[in-house]
Structure 1
Amino acid sequence: MVSIAFVQSEQQLRDLYGAPDTLALRKVLDHLDVHCRNFISASPFFMLATHDRDGHSDASPRGDQPGFVEILDDRHLLLPDKPGNNRIDSLINVFHSPSIGMLFLIPGVRETLRINGEARITCDPSLLLKHEEGGKVPKTGLVIEVREAFLHCARSVMRAKIWVPETWPDRKVVPSAGRIWSDHIALSSAAEQGEVQ
């Protein structure tokens, strides 16, 4: 790797950027107001950030019909765990390290909603039964206690032009998911065989 200069302290970092805008600090709530509730209810997709007991981070996409994240009250959310591949990385991470971050998106809306808080895993039927789908009740869910909630400005979405179809790349540029998985599994298998030898 080439020689890289890294920031050595928080003070150096603050000196580079200066003080945060007062309004940016004041917009943070410790609960869900009507605007946060409406945003979450209209969102079909969010990213869930967790970290394991060693501090290794993970970000996982979550999506379903708008309203799939249930608002329990002005400080608590319920995320039912839908059937998947049973890796349950996020659940294991939460079990050991409950701090999480959530970034909600709504198609066509440039702003995003950020929620930070603490999550706990529930298997309480009284919470999960109402999220039955196709005869299947979620085995668990995350109950999230909201610590911070705030609207994130539109700059990154505007720069990326996420909601502008004319800027989307040709699908031929990206191999199919099947091709990517096949290649990754082959690489993983080769690495395992190399370790055995």
Structure 2
Amino acid sequence: MPDSLTPAAAGPAVLDADAARALVASYAKPSPMAVAKDIGRIDRHLRRYIEMSPFCCVATADADGRQDVTPRGDPPGSFKVFGEHTVAIPDRPGNNRLDTLKNLLVNSQIGLVFLLPGMDETARVNGIGRLSVDAALLESMAVEGRAPKCAIVVEVREAYLHCAKAFRRSKLWDPATQIDRRSLPSLAGMIRDQVGLSEEAARQAEDRIEKAYRETLWAPTN
């Protein structure tokens, strides 16, 4: 087996392609239920879960396959379900990197994982993502009178409920596992160290971030 290991720079050794294929082939076959649970559509259970969810993670990739995963949070009811094969999520104000939107321009594949606070099972949806500025849709997503600039409409290709093992292992919802926020620097403080900001620039960034949290959760300042 050592011949099949390729050392990673300053990290653990990794398998070469043949060894990796052999490893994957060594896993047990999925149970019939694990295969069958992908129903490829939004049924009443998935619909209720998505419509109750306040949080999802969105995975996209660019034309070269470089991937991005971004969190999206909204009041319950903001994620919309239209029939069995269409889901829509609002695009709220952010940092204007637009990683998700730019990726969808060149690669329409998208994956969503919806979460419900306190529930260990998740809902997974994969499909084709497109951008929409449909006025009725955006108005239905308005919060505090502010509609998103656009929405991501997903044509559902895969849809299923995911078991609770990851959340049981991580104890994500257990208050006893919550960290003391003071154990890490502020966001601006960490970015200061990463990009070499001065103390004054970091302080100004901190002020801008806190102002954005207070005033522009639902609409950009420009």
What's the TM-score, normalizing by structure 1?
0.87
Instruction: Pick from 67, 70, 79 the counterpart of residue 89 of structure 2.
Output: 79
State how far apart, in whole Å, the 2-side matches of 1:56 and 1:147 are.
Answer: 21
Give the equivalent residue in structure 2 for 1:179.
189
Paired amino acid for 1:48: V
Give the equivalent residue in structure 2 for 1:96.
106
Paired amino acid for 2:42: L
Secondary structure of the equivalent of 1:71? strand
Instruction: Pick from 52, 59, 81 the counterpart of residue 62 of structure 2.
Output: 52
State how far apart, in whole Å, the 2-side matches of 1:33 and 1:106 are.
Answer: 17
What's the TM-score, normalizing by structure 2?
0.78
Q: Is the 8 A contact 1:99 1:118 kept in 2?
A: yes
Give the equivalent residue in structure 1 for 2:143.
133
Tell me, yes or no, if structure 1 residue 157 matches structure 2 residue 167: yes
Tell me, yes or no, if structure 1 residue 33 matches structure 2 residue 66: no
Q: Runs in 1 of length 4+ with deviation above 4 angstroms?
A: none
- Deviation (angstroms), 1:129: 2.3
State how far apart, in whole Å, the 2-side matches of 1:87 and 1:11 are.
Answer: 36
Tell me, yes or no, if structure 1 residue 168 matches structure 2 residue 139: no
State how far apart, in whole Å, the 2-side matches of 1:144 and 1:5 are.
Answer: 35
Secondary structure of the equivalent of 2:119? coil
Q: Provide the aligned C-alpha RMSD in A.
A: 1.8
Task: Work out the percentage of aligned pairs sharing the same amino acid.
Answer: 39
The count of aligned residue pairs is 187
Q: Which runs of 5+ in 1 are unaligned?
A: 188-197
